[in-house]
Amino acid sequence: MKPHHKAKYLNPFTDFGFKKLFGEEANKHLLIDFLNQLLPAQHQIHDLFYKKTEHLGSHELDRKAIFDLYCENQDGHKFIVELQKAKQNFFKDRSVFYATFPIREQAERGEWNYQLQPVYCIALLDFTFDDPKLPGHYLQNIQLRNEICEIFYDKLTFIFIEMPRFQKNQEELQTHFDKWLYFIKHLEDFEAIPTHLQEAVFEQAFAIAEIAHFNPQQQKDYENSLKYYRDLKNVIDTAELTGREHGFEVGKEFGIEIGKEQGIEIGKEQEKLRLINLMLQQGTLSPEKIADLFGVDKEFVLNLRNHHP
């Protein structure tokens, strides 16, 4: 990770920063501009409104990082966009799980023919998948297809943006979408608006993201959100590094490739237990938040705490 500095602009990958930029009614024109770079011509957004995410239950962190958006195009046709700032643990499972809510909520009482509005599940990732890709391949557009790769169902689309794979510099920005990704990826590091982003929509976004404009409570909330984000990143980065190192050592003892793979998994699980116990000892986070960080049940964390007071 980059060294911490007193930033002028917020980090959009924090829960607070993500909501500030994309989750407030007053700023929805920014969200519309961004989403229209991702959506097909027939589903360019003319207007949208936010739906409360009660279905996320007790997961307070998810409620801050997932928005269900009810959208209309120029012709008045309606469709649904779910935008999320994705977390790394069990990401694909989480994406499919949350996609079921905007689908099921379309059910009508009484007689209903099951006709659904299109649903787009868009996730902004600050991590990468393990599967290999061509250099610069940072955007995945996924639909349900059959065995000969024909689209079987076109009303459910997953769009994943792997931000670490976006490597363009300022001189390489060619499209409005390029500029949005460059803005999101580097926002926290900017000290002034760069030349290539001196357009009205980005100037408005920079003004919204400037920390000096926050009131004292907002600044406090942002600092807490930033600390949580950094803690999470440090935990994941440490677990991955230690897991790989330990895993390869275990794999060498078996002397075969499968030993390496199993060793990596063993190393990851052992490191996860060690880090959970360490965070319990520090006592800075509740068992609920620790469980959310590591993608485990709260009961699992409580059992660890009870057995290792």
**Two tokens at 250?**
């275990």
Model pLDDT for residues 97-135, shown as the tens digit of each residue: 888 888 888 888 888 888 898 999 998 888 888 776 666
Report the alpha-carbon distance of residue 280 to residue 101 in Å, rounded: 33
Q: Which amino acid is at 294?
A: F
Backbone angles phi, psi at 218, to 5 degrees: -65, -40
Model pLDDT for residues 143-155, shown as the tens digit of each residue: 998 888 899 999 9
What confidence score (pLDDT) does residue 57 get?
45
Model pLDDT for residues 74-105, shown as the tens digit of each residue: 888 888 887 877 666 678 888 888 888 888 88
Name the β-bridge partners of 48.
71
What confidence score (pLDDT) does residue 270 get?
65
Model pLDDT for residues 185-234, shown as the tens digit of each residue: 999 999 999 999 999 999 999 999 999 999 999 999 999 989 888 877 77
- Closest listed residue to residue 306, CA positions, set 275, 288, 280: 280
Residue with the larger pLDDT of the pair 292 and 206 = 206
Of the listed ranges 30-39, 47-56, 97-106, 202-211, the one predicted with least confidence = 47-56
Q: What predicted TM-score, i.e. pTM, was given to this entire model?
A: 0.74
Model pLDDT for residues 220-270, shown as the tens digit of each residue: 999 998 988 887 777 666 655 555 555 445 444 444 444 445 444 555 666
Of the listed ranges 13-27, 46-60, 65-79, the one predicted with least confidence = 46-60
Mean pLDDT of 279-301: 79
Q: Which amino acid is at 123?
A: A
Tell me if 263 sits within 8 A of 249, measured CB to CB: yes
Instruction: Return the domain boundaries, the chain.
Output: 15-213, 216-307
Backbone angles phi, psi at 176, to 5 degrees: -65, -35
- What value does the mean pLDDT of the chain take? 80
SS3 label, residue 292: helix
Report the alpha-carbon distance of residue 75 to residue 43 in Å, rounded: 10
Q: Does 14 score more than 50 pLDDT?
A: yes
SS3 label, residue 35: helix
What confidence score (pLDDT) does residue 241 get?
57
